[in-house]
Amino acid sequence: MSSDLMLKNNPIILALDTCTESCSAALLVNGQVYAQQADAPREHSQRLLPMVQTVLQQANITLADVDVIAYGRGPGSFTGIRICTSMTQGLALGQDIPVVGISTLAAMAQIAIDAGSSQVIAAIDARMGEVYSGQYVSKQGVATLVAAEQVSVPQDVVLQLSEQQTVSGCGTGFDAYPELLTLTANIEMVPSAKFPTAAAMITIAKKAIANGEATSVDELSPVYLRDTVTWKKLPGRE
């Protein structure tokens, strides 16, 4: 499946994300991106499919024309990740469409890179005194991970990027834990990258598809970072 996609120069990509407070869908067709987005943290399951229908209509295609679905694989809220993966499964299974998971942290970094950043720390408030974080550099305009994404207390986030250059910061993690702003003297926030978007995921998905990373929907892989043992400490977080 993925090898077929590698041979296609301009695959039609549908991207979905509900992993944070933001809900979005985007579609790449012949180099043009159609996108829908809303900050509606408790309405993802109601909003996502209409967004998908809208972008398909705008491009004048149907789901059967889509070559691959890129989905937000996390990290983020457990509920949001589950909504995104279940919606992706529902859409992909019926048409036997390959899928590719995209990091929500990488998508945030991509927004910053598209705005001119060369190195980025993306951080999402993980609650319970912890933060999801990832550090990225721009390689040919694509957010590329340095080291590994992690969940940790803010004090355990260690700068992996160059202190000689400006580091862009993005995400709710900086609002929740202002001490992250002291990682380097050269940090500048990018407000437009506070949440990931499906449109930003498309850039990363194109590279992932070219690298043969698309899989069948049976191999869909959400990423929670925080293990279930930690979540079971809270009532109802099974």
pLDDT value at 119 more than 50:
yes
Chain center to CA of 157: 20
Question: CA 127, CA 212: separation in Å to the nearest integer?
Answer: 35
Measured CA to CA, the distance from residue 153 to residue 156 in angstroms comes to 6
pLDDT (0 to 100) of residue 231: 34
For residues 112 and 168, the answer to whether their CB atoms sit within 8 Å is: yes
Query: Is 80 exceeded by the pLDDT of residue 204?
Result: yes
Q: How many CB atoms lie within 10 A of CB 236?
A: 6
Of the pLDDT bands very low, low, confident and very high (cuts 50, 70, 90), residue 43 is confident
Chain segment 86-111, per-residue pLDDT in tens: 999 999 998 999 999 999 999 999 99
Question: Prior bond to 154 cis, omega within 30?
Answer: no
Q: Residue 124: pLDDT above 80?
A: yes
Q: Which residues contact 19 (CB under 8 A, 6 or more apart)?
A: 72, 73, 74, 75, 76, 77, 80, 81, 84, 104, 196
pLDDT-derived band of residue 4, with 50, 70 and 90 as boundaries? low
Rounded to two decimals, the pTM is 0.91
The pLDDT score that the predictor gives to residue 8 is: 67
Mean pLDDT of the chain: 91
- 68 or 230: which carries more pLDDT confidence? 68
CA angle 77, 23, 168 (to 5 degrees): 75
∠ Cα 172 23 95 (to 5°): 135
> Residue 229: its pLDDT value, please?
33
pLDDT level of residue 42 (50, 70, 90 thresholds): confident
**One-character DSSP codes across 143-193:** EEEEEEEEEE-GGG----S-TTS-EEEESHHHHH-GGGGGS-TTEEE-GGG
pLDDT score at 237: 33
pLDDT > 50? residue 235:
no
Question: Which band of pLDDT confidence, cut at 50, 70 and 90, is reported for residue 40?
Answer: confident
CB of 146 within 8 A of CB of 137? yes
Report the C-alpha gap between 116 and 122 in whole angstroms.
15
Q: Under a CB-based contact definition with an 8 Å cutoff, are residues 217 and 93 in contact?
A: yes
What structural domains does the chain harbor? 2-103+196-231 (3.30.420.40), 105-193 (3.30.420.40)
- As a whole number of angstroms, the distance between CA 42 and CA 143 comes to 29
What is the rounded average pLDDT of the residues 223-229?
Answer: 70
Task: Give per-residue pLDDT as tens, 20-39.
Answer: 999 999 999 999 999 999 99
